[in-house]
Amino acid sequence: MSPVSTSTKDGIAVITINNPPVNALSHAVREGLQTAVETCDGDDAVKAIVLICEGRTFIAGADIREFGQPPQAPHLPDVVNRIEACGKPVIAAIHGTALGGGLEVAMGCHFRIARPDAAVGLPEVKLGLLPGATGTQRLPRLTEVKTALDMMIAGDPLPAPQAFQAGIIDRLADGDLLDGALQYAQDLVAANVAPRRTRDLPVTPVAENFFADYRQSIVRKTRGLFAPQQIVTCVENALRLSFDEAVAEERRLFAECRNSPQSAGLRHAFFAEREAARVPGLGRDTPTRPLQSAAIIGAGTMGAGIAYACINAGMQVFLLDSDDAGLKRGTQTIEKLLAGGVERGKLDKAAAAACRQRLTTTSDYADLADVDIVIEAVFETMAIKKEVFGQLDAVCKPGAILATNTSTLDIDAIASATGRPKDVIGLHFFSPAHIMKLLEIVRGSHTADDVIATSLTLARRLGKIGVVVGNCFGFVGNRMLYSYGRENQLMLLEGAAPESIDKALHDWGMAMGPNAVGDLAGLDVGYKVRQERTDLPDDPRFYRVANKLAEMGRYGQKTGKGMYLYEAGSRQPIPDPLVHDLIKAEADALGIEQRDISAEEIVERCIYGLIVEGTRILQDGIASRPGDIDVIWMYGYGFPRHRGGPMHYADSIGLDKVYARVCEFRDRFGPMYWEPPALLRELAESGRSFADLAAESG
């Protein structure tokens, strides 16, 4: 059956789209919609048309199942133009979200009515695209040029009341949407109102330097991205070209965006994020455990951030610390976060007060007897964590989930301190825990399936992306980080200044350079972890500079000096000649002759180091899919989303080229770090990619 149907009531045709779950613009929908409009346009009994959708939303965009496939006629721009060309008033009735092509269809209609709780938007930029079905030309004709640009550059939905104020929506429905739309249609017919075609509306003029200033204003937040500047060009065209000429340019620039590596990377990121929620071997019908209450062990910055995230998600939370001063600091941290949420409009005062009511502080483990989940966030020391888990095992109820926030340590070793290893799991939050979206979910050898399923549910409840990984030192993210950081540290000794390395990687797209990140996280943190390890390489160069700085008490921003200097109250890194001298002295002591290192080599060694270790992780079965690694590095470590993550980036280069370069590094720097994994060699020699590997594994 067609997903588009038509009925008539009192001379008003109602075209209904029913294509669950989000009424996506599949080929069948486009074809059915165009046919329905043409039929109604030719029916003399029809005086006006209402376009409405069944289910929970209006058209929420393109059909993702058709991504990457050759487009089939009718193409969406032709459907939108056919709707607009209709000789009778066409009213879009919007509920839920009208996004992307959905809003373009609505703008092709002559009038728009929406429920007050609806939202509209053009999010194509998030996939490295621009609105390619006349959206860049219609939106600035319905609202101010800056409003249109802001919507398309951010890609975020605009609530219907704001869209009404902006002129994008013509009427807000008071009561039932269909009844309101039918009444709107009858009003238009009674007043003999002709179709109001968006293409014929003028674009409000702007100042001569408006577009130059606007381009400059978005440079920072769109750093390195291709599509945003093309969107600005399209809107400029709305003022200087005819509608049809500007639409032709829109299609040309849309094709450029669609065929760009950036769009490929962003589309990969979109699908990889969706796929990460599907854990191989874990059925969708796997039961979950109740999650009404939680206990957080440790009231430091991480523990307080996790506690805030949980109370903000409606959970009853116990925050436990053995030290009263620690509890006081943790409570103060949570208070600051609540106050900040209110100030930024994320919370109202009543919601903040309710959050406070859900928080209880304690130093008594007995108070945790009835909680559903415990998340430990104490020092990254195995002995301390085992002691904590022994106490939890003694007091927590049967079936309570015992989670550790460890970032590196063996989950099975921690679980061995309990008599219930099936209830133990790793929940590796990233700092700041209330902001960072990644949650690395680490399954131990005995972790029960329902514990994994419940942890994924918790991630969603906290607004995070959960990725399930296997158990090894550092899991996925931090295990790879050692390879990335190692090359940074080696290049320091070889002659690259900290600021040169950071600039090269930031310019390439990383959120921050590795030396600035180290200072932000605290050089003492990594130092303490390395002191606990017994499997470090027998290499005096390994993290030598970072170790020396930590031993000098230069921990980074927290001490005002680390790899860089920091002025009081500032996070701006200042290069320090003392650090340059220290690095030179250490290089001399090791007999390393320093040299100039190009930005290209800096990027290749750091990023290829990630790729090599990521391949080993796949080879070891620690990650289920290459895309899971990409999601972890994009959301946890600031890898540029438009590059799709390290494994997709390797595919975009070509694994044969990556393998050849890794072999060059092995021959130049030795096999200790650069021996190519067997999986990389196999894929390169067979002409396959990581994407092929993922498809083969299902």
Dist CA 576 CA 568 (whole Å): 15
Q: Residue 93, SS3? A: strand
pLDDT computed for residue 552 by the predictor? 97
Dist CA 270 CA 67 (whole Å): 11
Average pLDDT over residues 500-513: 97
| 197, pLDDT greater than 90 | yes
pLDDT computed for residue 63 by the predictor? 86
Q: Hey, which residues does 548 pair with through a beta bridge? A: none
Dist CA 261 CA 599 (whole Å): 21
Nearest Cα to Cα of residue 501 among 638, 641, 605, 614: 605
pLDDT computed for residue 1 by the predictor? 81
Both tokens of 82, joined, read 């056919």
Q: Which residues contact 482 (CB under 8 A, 6 or more apart)?
A: 474, 613
pLDDT computed for residue 70 by the predictor? 82
DSSP string, 56-88: T-S--SB-GGGTTSPP-SSPHHHHHHHHHH-SS
| 67, pLDDT greater than 90 | no
CA distances, 540 to each of 100, 474, 587, 590, 592 (Å): 55, 21, 11, 8, 12
Phi, psi of 533 (to 5 degrees): -80, 145
Dist CA 597 CA 584 (whole Å): 15
Distance linking the first and last C-alpha atoms of the chain: 30
CA distances, 368 to each of 402, 424, 458 (Å): 11, 16, 19
pLDDT computed for residue 698 by the predictor? 72
| 672, pLDDT greater than 80 | yes
Dist CA 579 CA 581 (whole Å): 5
pLDDT computed for residue 68 by the predictor? 73
pLDDT digit string (tens) for 386-420?
999 999 999 999 999 999 999 999 999 999 999 99
CA distances, 160 to each of 84, 106, 182, 684, 697 (Å): 22, 13, 19, 51, 43
SS3 content of the chain, % helix, strand, coil (to 5): 55, 10, 35
CB 419, CB 395: distance < 8 Å? no
Dist CA 555 CA 546 (whole Å): 9
pLDDT computed for residue 371 by the predictor? 98
**How would you classify the pairing of strands 12-17 and 4-9?**
antiparallel
Give the ranges where 566-625 is alpha helix by DSSP (H).
577-589, 599-620
Q: Residue 538, SS3? A: coil
CA distances, 676 to each of 229, 475, 542, 656 (Å): 39, 20, 19, 12
Tell me, what amino acid is at 505? L
pLDDT digit string (tens) for 607-637?
999 999 999 999 999 999 999 999 999 999 9
Which of 31, 54, 66, 104 is catalytic? The answer is 104
Percent of the chain with pLDDT strictly greater than 70: 100
Mean pLDDT, the chain, rounded, equals 96
Dist CA 653 CA 347 (whole Å): 44
Both tokens of 334, joined, read 């949570």
Average pLDDT over residues 638-656: 97
pLDDT digit string (tens) for 252-272?
999 999 999 999 999 999 999
CB 371, CB 293: distance < 8 Å? yes
Dist CA 232 CA 249 (whole Å): 12
Nearest Cα to Cα of residue 465 among 506, 518, 417, 429: 429
Phi, psi of 90 (to 5 degrees): -115, 125
Quote the pTM value: 0.94
pLDDT computed for residue 64 by the predictor? 78
Residue 124 annotated as catalytic: yes
Would you place residue 532 in the very low, low, confident or very high pLDDT band (cuts 50, 70, 90)? Answer: confident
Residue 104 annotated as catalytic: yes
CA distances, 233 to each of 199, 214, 281 (Å): 18, 11, 48
pLDDT digit string (tens) for 121-157?
999 999 999 999 999 999 999 999 999 999 999 999 9
CB 422, CB 449: distance < 8 Å? no
CB 230, CB 253: distance < 8 Å? yes
Average pLDDT over residues 466-479: 97
| 40, pLDDT greater than 90 | yes
pLDDT computed for residue 515 by the predictor? 98
Dist CA 692 CA 698 (whole Å): 10
CB 503, CB 516: distance < 8 Å? no
Which of 31, 38, 66, 124 is catalytic? The answer is 124
Both tokens of 389, joined, read 């888990």
CB 247, CB 134: distance < 8 Å? yes
Average pLDDT over residues 525-547: 92
Dist CA 241 CA 239 (whole Å): 6
Tell me, what amino acid is at 158? L
Both tokens of 358, joined, read 């859900």
Would you place residue 647 in the very low, low, confident or very high pLDDT band (cuts 50, 70, 90)? Answer: very high
CA distances, 627 to each of 340, 458, 512, 650 (Å): 34, 21, 22, 12
CA distances, 117 to each of 19, 177, 685 (Å): 21, 11, 54
pLDDT computed for residue 565 by the predictor? 97
| 69, pLDDT greater than 90 | no
| 298, pLDDT greater than 80 | yes
CB 603, CB 508: distance < 8 Å? yes
Q: In what order do the strands lie in the sheet with 97-99?
A: 97-99, 119-121, 158-159
